[in-house]
């Protein structure tokens, strides 16, 4: 039984932002897979909920004429995992979506909710980080576009200002075109689990030389992160085992892993090194490169 | 054996009810004006309650009652679901009261609220002011055993529940005759049953002043007794009803909610009150599996003959006795039919700690001790440079073994054949050769482990079971049994036994699945893998009586002697040529309506089984170990069982699937994690407690070597618990085979594997 304060439903974005403007305390609920769990756990008491679940305009996944991919925040993980454009242009996000929860969760959980919940373990986040995704945030008075990296402020904390809702996730063509990628969710179970580490890698290369490598990690720090040191190093490096080992090692430098009862810092850092390398190797193969043992 | 019903995969009698959602579980019943009970739980592992102020909670609108130790009966009772013992020395330890003035673990029951709905009840809990005197907790058995350690129960001056063990022969003397003596230490973790349906019960007072408790339990007749004891009222004043149940695994072979929910209804003038565990409560405040630490020392000859073993065990029972030392005792008993030791010394100690309460869980100590023993045996075989399978085989006790303590004899044992079958299934010889020299990041290996178990509890406890059969006018029967269907399929198998014995078709048996202590024949319940073995015999006896009465009645009708008649496919036939004399229905109609001889046919039979039968089996597993991440994947796994005759192959296979799945979690991922300082359970939910999902479960191979046990109905032996027992050691031995690293602690989760591989220089 949930201890609800009030409950509102919006059918359009305008309705939602008007309601939010009137009452900034409203807690937005979409699929409910995070909000209801928090309420069940007593972390959110007598919440006044604003359901945006019925805003059908926020569900679409589109490729615009200029190649920009526009994802409605209410797209469910099932929808994303099965979307032909996502699978064609940004398969790494389909891969991440498929790793999330179980089928029942994926059927209702939305990508927008996953992002706005602000968890470092969000399965979509590390992929969206390497895709340089941008978020369109709308309030009654204002609209702004924020790079996802700037949106995450701390554990469970995002730059969603009072009155704002997330209305679009934008991925530019230059951020996926020519890249190949791999997402590895390392968890204790193959389903229904939270990542011990999430590793998203995108790379672009020619003649066995890296043009660009992007590495996004989840659960390696209080928020999802990019591994800038490793990425900078990788530029123009030859693709070989030594380079990949070095990239893995440098990825650890960006991380702020800590020991918890879920895993030790030492183990987490070891995994970052190991799995970054593995993801990169797979991304290279997917991009038509050589297989590195 | 030419059986018509037994041995065939008949559909479960509850299949349609369950898959269509028609089956009603405790939580599906709604009484008018039902109130909701909720429990206030201790935030401290060890604390005395100095004062409880419930005035604010009581004045909250919608709150009907607040219960504390001050206003509930103080009768001490034991919660273990064991038959009552007339001998006081053999009774379970009575260390509980409905509510206490002391908290003994984080989550212990401090007070309770009855309110009009769940939210009001939860709100009221927050309004109860408790003043605690926080005491130092003991959070490990080692700490609990230290002289001067804080006492979990003041009347147990050393925190020891019991240290009763045994010695067969003289172990120290026998060690002197051994060529080698090997020693090992092992440790298992606290795990939880995770049945889908958490504990749930509701209670009300009927018009005659009797308390009716509807509850999800494995042991309705024991619940009746304990509610009576806890409230200090005659047992007949209590009626317990058990509807369909969504899993128990031993956790419902215990009294968890019933005395409190009964006290709740009494506190509100007999109005119905429902009490249900949330998953978070279930993980912490029901029961767990005892964690064990073992030190094993075993002497062998240079030919590889096991001679003597000395097993020391520390069992952590948590804050209350529950099944307590029975688990350690059972562990020390059930492995004995496996190997031929000249001398065995078993030194167990069961210790109280300020941790969640350990109780019965599938295998009842056997998974713990077989993990230790079968890892130890593997280590010994390796040290002796002997093939681990041959080493085991030459030491099997086998047919003819008689347990020196219990007197139980092994009349049937298909263990060697099980091992041979498993070896072929996993393709042992080829894989052993293939995986002999591996170096990569992913390494494979094969391992195996054996077990023995018993079929029921004789001679430790009384094994009494009841069955009642009524022959209907149309020749069908109602079958009532006291043993509870908890998902294991016992109702279906009982129907098969009744149908086979009487000679009627399976569709002519109507099983009454609900147990109601006012109506149901007496049976102590479902546990110890006793149902087909003990209750099955009660069903057979009842069916034999019904059959004899039918044939006698037919004799009266036809003048054909009963001895010349038989029943086949619901027809009365001539025994000598199978010719149909008349349909059973015709006889049945006469038993009801014959103006002179009418006397409906029934049987009400009890079986007191003073026998027991060891059952056996083996697990073979192949694993792939990711050296760099510490992840272990089970590629192939096979359980081969000697469970006597298999009455229903499909149900038997399902039972093995469930057990193996539980064993996989035990081996690789499951563990209730406890904060070392506070004693609080850290992972009280199914996200953080790593119960494997179907995606983590390989194809499970199942096979049976059938034997025909003479002491049971249709040759059965136990199969309920056995499938879980040998899984963890088989996987551990496979990991050893793959990596050369010997784990002596479960679960082998990635973090632990990583640490151990670092230590071994593999990373």
For residue B435, the Cα-to-chain-centroid distance in whole angstroms is 37
Q: Do A37 and A64 fall into the same domain?
A: no
Q: What is the mean pLDDT of residues B645-650?
A: 98
| Rounded percentage of chain B residues whose pLDDT exceeds 90 | 100
Residues of B in contact with A196 (CB under 8 A): 750
10 Å Cβ neighbour count for B530?
A: 28
Q: Do A256 and A276 fall into the same domain?
A: yes
Q: Do A167 and A65 fall into the same domain?
A: yes
Contact present, B75 and B235 (Cβ < 8 Å): no
Last residue of a domain, one of A135, A152, A174: A174
10 Å Cβ neighbour count for B763?
A: 17
Interchain pair A3, B119: CB under 8 A: yes
**Ordered domains of chain B (ranges, CATH):** 15-22+464-608 (3.30.365.10), 31-135+193-285 (3.90.1170.50), 138-191+288-397 (3.30.365.10), 407-454+613-763 (3.30.365.10)
Please tell me chain B's helix, strand, coil percentages from 3-state DSSP, rounded to the nearest 5.
Answer: 30, 25, 45
Q: What is the mean pLDDT of residues B387-407?
A: 98
pLDDT at residue number B364: 98
Q: Do A151 and A218 fall into the same domain?
A: no
pLDDT at residue number A42: 84
The residues facing B582 across adjacent strands are B572
10 Å Cβ neighbour count for A172?
A: 16
CA angle B22-B23-B27, nearest 5°?
A: 110
Nearest CB to B629: which of A186, A189, A264? A186
Q: Round to whole Å and give the CA distance between B680 and B210.
A: 39
The size of the A-B interface in CB pairs under 8 A is: 51
Mutation choice for B interface testing from A33, A192, A270 by most B CBs within 10 A: A192
Confidence of residue B530 (pLDDT cuts 50, 70, 90): very high
**Burial readout B587-622 (b: 16 or more C-beta within 10 A, e: otherwise):** bbbbbeeeeeeeeebbbebbbebebbbbbbbbbbbb
pLDDT at residue number B33: 93
Mutation choice for A interface testing from B633, B675, B750 by most A CBs within 10 A: B750
Distances, alpha carbon B220 to alpha carbons A120, B73, B239, B444, B645, in Å: 48, 22, 9, 47, 29
pLDDT at residue number A24: 86
Q: Round to whole Å and give the CA distance between B114 and B125.
A: 10
Q: What is the mean pLDDT of residues B250-256?
A: 98
B131 touches chain A (CB under 8 A): no
Q: Would you say residue A291 lies in a domain?
A: no
Last residue of a domain, one of A174, A209, A225: A174
Q: Would you say residue A293 lies in a domain?
A: no
Distances, alpha carbon B332 to alpha carbons B327, B447, B526, in Å: 9, 24, 22
pLDDT at residue number B506: 97
Residues of A in contact with B755 (CB under 8 A): 264, 267
Give B572→chain A minimum CA distance, Å: 54
10 Å Cβ neighbour count for B177?
A: 12
Distances, alpha carbon B745 to alpha carbons A263, B339, B348, B351, B425, in Å: 17, 23, 18, 20, 28
Peptide bond into B29 cis (omega under 30): no
Interchain pair B673, A261: CB under 8 A: yes
Q: Do A30 and A137 fall into the same domain?
A: no
Contact present, A48 and A23 (Cβ < 8 Å): yes
Residue B54 has pLDDT above 80, yes or no: yes
| Count of structural domains, chain A | 3
Q: Do A105 and A190 fall into the same domain?
A: no
Q: Round to whole Å and give the CA distance between B75 and B232.
A: 7
Last residue of a domain, one of A140, A174, A208: A174
Residues of A in contact with B749 (CB under 8 A): 188
Interchain pair B629, A194: CB under 8 A: no
| Rounded percentage of chain A residues whose pLDDT exceeds 90 | 95
Q: Would you say residue A54 lies in a domain?
A: no
What pLDDT tens digit does each residue of chain A (293 aa) get?
788 889 999 999 999 999 999 998 999 999 999 999 999 888 888 899 999 999 999 999 999 999 999 999 999 999 999 999 999 999 999 999 999 999 999 999 999 999 999 999 999 999 999 999 999 999 999 999 999 999 999 999 999 999 999 999 999 999 999 999 999 999 999 999 999 999 999 999 999 999 999 999 999 999 999 999 999 999 999 999 999 999 999 999 999 999 999 999 999 999 999 999 999 999 999 999 999 98
Mean pLDDT of the residues in chain B = 97
Residues of B in contact with A262 (CB under 8 A): 688
Interchain pair B690, A193: CB under 8 A: yes
Q: What CATH number should be reported for the domain holding residue A67?
A: 3.30.465.10
Q: Do A113 and A129 fall into the same domain?
A: yes
Q: Do A81 and A159 fall into the same domain?
A: yes
Residues of A in contact with B696 (CB under 8 A): 189-191
Residue A70 domain boundaries: 59-174
Residue B507 has pLDDT above 70, yes or no: yes
Give B212→chain A minimum CA distance, Å: 26
Residue B1 has pLDDT above 70, yes or no: no
- Indicate if the alpha-carbon torsion angle B533, B537, B538, B543 is positive or negative: positive
Give B52→chain A minimum CA distance, Å: 23
Extract the tokens encoding A176: 């996926």
B18 touches chain A (CB under 8 A): no
Q: What is the mean pLDDT of residues B347-356?
A: 98
Residue B706 has pLDDT above 90, yes or no: yes
3-state class of B589 per DSSP?
A: helix
Peptide bond into B747 cis (omega under 30): yes
Q: What CATH number should be reported for the domain holding residue A262?
A: 3.30.390.50
pLDDT at residue number A156: 94
Q: Do A43 and A81 fall into the same domain?
A: no
Residue B220 has pLDDT above 70, yes or no: yes
What is the ipTM, given to two decimal places? Answer: 0.96
Q: Do A103 and A200 fall into the same domain?
A: no
Residue B447 has pLDDT above 80, yes or no: yes
What string of H, E and C letters represents the secondary structure of B157-176? CCCEEECCCEEECCHHHHHC
Contact present, B612 and B454 (Cβ < 8 Å): yes
Extract the tokens encoding B210: 């009797």
Q: Round to whole Å and give the CA distance between B131 and B364.
A: 38
Q: Do A69 and A142 fall into the same domain?
A: yes
* Chain B, nearest residue to A197 by Cα: B629
Q: Would you say residue A150 lies in a domain?
A: yes
Nearest CB to B754: which of A194, A262, A267? A267
Q: Do A166 and A219 fall into the same domain?
A: no
pLDDT in tens, B603-642: 999 999 999 999 999 999 999 999 999 999 999 999 999 9
């Amino acid at each position: 039984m949930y201890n609800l304060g009030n409950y509102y439903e919006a059918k359009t974005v305008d309705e939602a932002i008007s309601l939010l403007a009137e009452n900034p305390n409203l807690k937005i609920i979409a699929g409910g897979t995070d909000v209801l769990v928090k309420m069940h756990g007593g972390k959110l008491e007598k919440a006044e909920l604003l359901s945006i679940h019925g805003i059908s305009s926020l569900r679409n996944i589109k490729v615009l004429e200029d190649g920009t991919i526009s994802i409605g925040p209410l797209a469910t993980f099932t929808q994303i995992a099965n979307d032909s454009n996502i699978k064609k242009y940004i398969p790494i996000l389909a891969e991440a979506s498929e790793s999330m929860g179980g089928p029942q969760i994926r059927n209702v959980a939305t990508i927008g909710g996953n992002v706005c919940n602000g968890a470092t373990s969000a399965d979509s986040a590390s992929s969206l980080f390497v895709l340089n995704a941008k978020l369109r945030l709308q309030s009654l008075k204002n609209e702004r576009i924020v790079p996802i990296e700037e949106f995450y402020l701390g554990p469970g904390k995002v730059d969603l200002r009072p009155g704002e809702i997330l209305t679009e996730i934008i991925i530019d063509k230059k951020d996926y075109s020519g890249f190949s990628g791999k997402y590895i969710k390392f968890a204790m179970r193959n389903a229904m689990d939270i990542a011990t580490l999430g590793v998203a890698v995108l790379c672009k290369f020619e003649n066995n030389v890296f043009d660009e490598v992007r590495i996004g990690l989840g659960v390696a720090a209080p928020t999802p992160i990019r591994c800038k040191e490793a990425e900078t190093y990788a530029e123009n490096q030859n693709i070989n085992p030594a380079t990949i080992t070095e990239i893995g090692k440098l990825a650890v430098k960006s991380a702020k892993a800590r020991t918890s009862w879920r895993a030790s810092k030492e183990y987490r850092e070891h995994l970052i090194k190991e799995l970054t390398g593995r993801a990169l190797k797979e991304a290279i193969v997917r991009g038509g490169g050589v297989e590195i043992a | 054996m030419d059986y018509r019903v037994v041995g065939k995969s008949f559909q479960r009698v509850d299949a349609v009810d369950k898959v269509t959602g028609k089956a009603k579980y405790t939580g599906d019943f709604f009484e008018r004006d039902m109130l909701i009970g909720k429990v206030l739980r201790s935030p401290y592992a060890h604390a005395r309650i100095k004062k409880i102020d419930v005035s604010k909670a009581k004045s909250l609108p919608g709150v009907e009652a607040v219960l504390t130790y001050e206003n509930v009966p103080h009768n001490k009772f034991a919660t273990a679901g064991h038959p009552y013992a007339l001998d006081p020395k053999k009774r379970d330890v009575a260390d509980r009261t409905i509510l206490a003035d002391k908290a003994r673990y984080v989550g212990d029951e401090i007070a309770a609220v009855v309110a009009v709905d769940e939210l009001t009840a939860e709100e009221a809990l927050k309004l109860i002011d408790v003043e605690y005197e926080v005491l130092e907790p003991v959070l490990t058995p080692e700490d609990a055993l230290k002289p001067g350690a804080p006492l979990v129960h003041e009347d147990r001056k050393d925190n020891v529940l019991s240290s009763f063990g045994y010695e067969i022969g003289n172990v120290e003397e026998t060690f002197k005759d051994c060529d080698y003596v090997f020693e090992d230490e092992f440790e298992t973790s606290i795990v939880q049953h995770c049945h889908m349906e958490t504990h749930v019960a509701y209670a009300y007072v009927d018009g005659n002043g009797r308390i009716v408790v509807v509850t999800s339990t494995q042991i309705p007749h024991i619940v009746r007794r304990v509610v009576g004891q806890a409230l200090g009222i005659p047992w007949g004043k209590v009626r317990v009803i058990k509807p369909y149940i969504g899993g128990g695994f031993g956790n419902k072979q215990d009294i968890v909610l019933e005395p409190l929910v009964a006290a709740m209804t009494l506190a509100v003038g007999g109005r119905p009150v429902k009490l249900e565990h949330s998953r978070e409560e279930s993980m912490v405040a029901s029961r767990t599996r005892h964690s064990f630490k073992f030190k094993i020392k075993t002497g062998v000859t240079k030919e590889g003959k096991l001679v003597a073993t000395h097993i020391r065990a520390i069992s952590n029972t948590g804050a209350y006795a529950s099944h307590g030392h029975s688990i350690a005792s059972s562990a020390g008993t059930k492995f004995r039919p496996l190997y031929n030791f000249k001398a065995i010394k078993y030194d167990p100690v069961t210790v109280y700690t300020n941790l969640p309460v350990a109780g019965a869980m599938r295998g009842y100590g056997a998974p713990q001790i077989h993990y230790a023993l079968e890892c130890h045996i593997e280590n010994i075989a390796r040290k002796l440079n002997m093939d681990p399978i041959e080493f085991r085989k030459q030491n099997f006790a086998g047919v003819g073994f008689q347990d020196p303590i219990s007197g139980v004899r092994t009349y049937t044992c298909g263990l060697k054949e099980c091992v041979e079958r498993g070896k072929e299934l996993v393709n042992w010889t080829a894989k052993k050769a293939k995986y002999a020299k591996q170096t990569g990041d992913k390494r494979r290996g094969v391992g195996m482990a054996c077990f023995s178990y018993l079929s029921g509890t004789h001679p430790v406890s009384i094994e009494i079971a009841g069955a009642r059969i009524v022959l209907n006018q149309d020749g069908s029967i109602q079958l009532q049994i006291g043993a509870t269907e908890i998902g294991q399929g016992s109702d279906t198998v009982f129907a098969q036994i009744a149908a086979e014995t009487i000679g009627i078709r399976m569709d002519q048996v109507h099983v009454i699945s609900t147990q109601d202590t006012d109506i149901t024949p007496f049976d102590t319940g479902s546990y110890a893998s006793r149902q087909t073995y003990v209750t099955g015999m009660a069903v057979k006896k009842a069916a034999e009586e019904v059959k004899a009465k039918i044939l006698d009645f037919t004799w009266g009708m036809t003048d054909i002697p009963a001895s010349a008649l038989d029943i086949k496919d619901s027809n009365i036939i001539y025994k000598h040529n199978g010719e149909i004399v008349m349909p059973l229905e015709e006889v049945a109609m006469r038993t009801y309506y014959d103006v002179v001889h009418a006397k409906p046919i029934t049987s009400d039979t009890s079986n007191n089984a003073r026998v027991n039968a060891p059952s056996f089996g083996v697990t073979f597993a192949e694993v792939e170990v990711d050296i760099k991440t510490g992840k272990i994947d089970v590629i192939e796994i096979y359980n081969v069982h000697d469970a006597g005759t298999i009455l229903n192959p499909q149900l038997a296979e399902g039972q093995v699937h469930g057990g193996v799945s539980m064993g996989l979690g035990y081996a690789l991922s499951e563990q209730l994690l406890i904060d070392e300082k506070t004693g609080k359970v850290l992972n009280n939910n199914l996200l953080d407690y790593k119960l494997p999902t179907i995606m983590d479960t390989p194809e499970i191979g199942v096979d049976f070597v059938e034997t025909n046990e003479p002491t049971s109905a249709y040759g059965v032996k136990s199969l309920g618990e056995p499938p879980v027992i040998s899984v963890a050691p088989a996987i551990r031995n496979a990991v050893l085979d793959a990596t050369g690293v010997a784990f002596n602690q479960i679960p082998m989760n990635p973090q632990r594997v990583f640490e151990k591989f670092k230590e071994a220089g593999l990373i």
